Structure formats: C-alpha cells, structure tokens
Amino acid sequence: MSYPFSTEGEPDLEEELWQESVVYIRDDIVLIADVRRRIKGHAIAHVLGNVRRIAGGRFVVMSQKSQDVAYEVDADHTICTCRDFEIHRKPCKHILAVEIFLGREGESCYQ
C-alpha cells in the first residue's frame, strides 16, 4: 500500500488501522499527522521502560529516534518538553504514550 507520507523506519503497524485512518483522512493532511502521533504513542507506550513515572503526574518518555534523548510529560496539565508540542500546543506522541500507559487514552486527545 502507498501512503501520502513516508513510513520508512517506522515500527510495523497494523494494516487495518492504517486502512481505517486513510478512509477518514483522505482529504485532510492535518488529521494524518494526528493519526501518526496516536500510532507512535502506542509504539512508545508498548515498549517496557519507555514511559517512567518521575513523581505524581510527571513522567519521562524516551525518544523513538535516540535512546540518549528523553522528554518530560506533565500528564496533569497535558504538557511535554518536545519540539512537536512546543510548535503545535496539542497532545504529542509522548503525551499520548503516557495516556496509554495510564490507561486513559483519549482523555485529552485533540480536544
């Protein structure tokens, strides 16, 4: 299948999830980015040790690209120290990973 963006270097993704997302986002490139964030959040959350609680609602989330890089997520205020969050001010893959880790997926997603 051909996607309107590169999936090179990404973890194996469920074809069904991609098919479902492509149906709904064919005409809206912004939603493609949102779906990719959600999928990457799942990929991060499901690797043991990628999400660690610091204290209270604060977490350290490991980067997908470099094991030497980590971001701090404040789950109580939906804030992350990554560049994506700084630019877009909406839940990034690290925030989504914490929500998944906590079993709260979707509570702050894109509202």
Q: What pLDDT, on the 0 to 100 scale, is given for residue 36?
A: 84
Over the range 61-91, which residues count as b (16 or more CB within 10 Å of their CB) and which as e? bbebeeeeebbebbbeebbbebebbeeeebb
In contact, 58 and 75? CB cutoff 8 Å: yes
Calculate mean pLDDT across residues 48-59. 95
Q: Identify the pLDDT of residue 107.
A: 59
What's the rounded mean pLDDT across residues 1-27?
A: 48
Mean pLDDT of 57-78: 94
The CA-CA-CA angle for residues 27, 34, 52, to 5°, reads 170
- Which two structure tokens, joined as six digits, stand for 44? 């991060």
How far out from the chain centre does Cα 66 lie?
Answer: 15
pLDDT computed for residue 35 by the predictor: 80
| Residue 73: per-residue pLDDT | 97
- pLDDT at residue 34 is higher than 50: yes
Say what the pLDDT of residue 40 is. 92
pLDDT of residue 30: 59
pTM summary value: 0.68
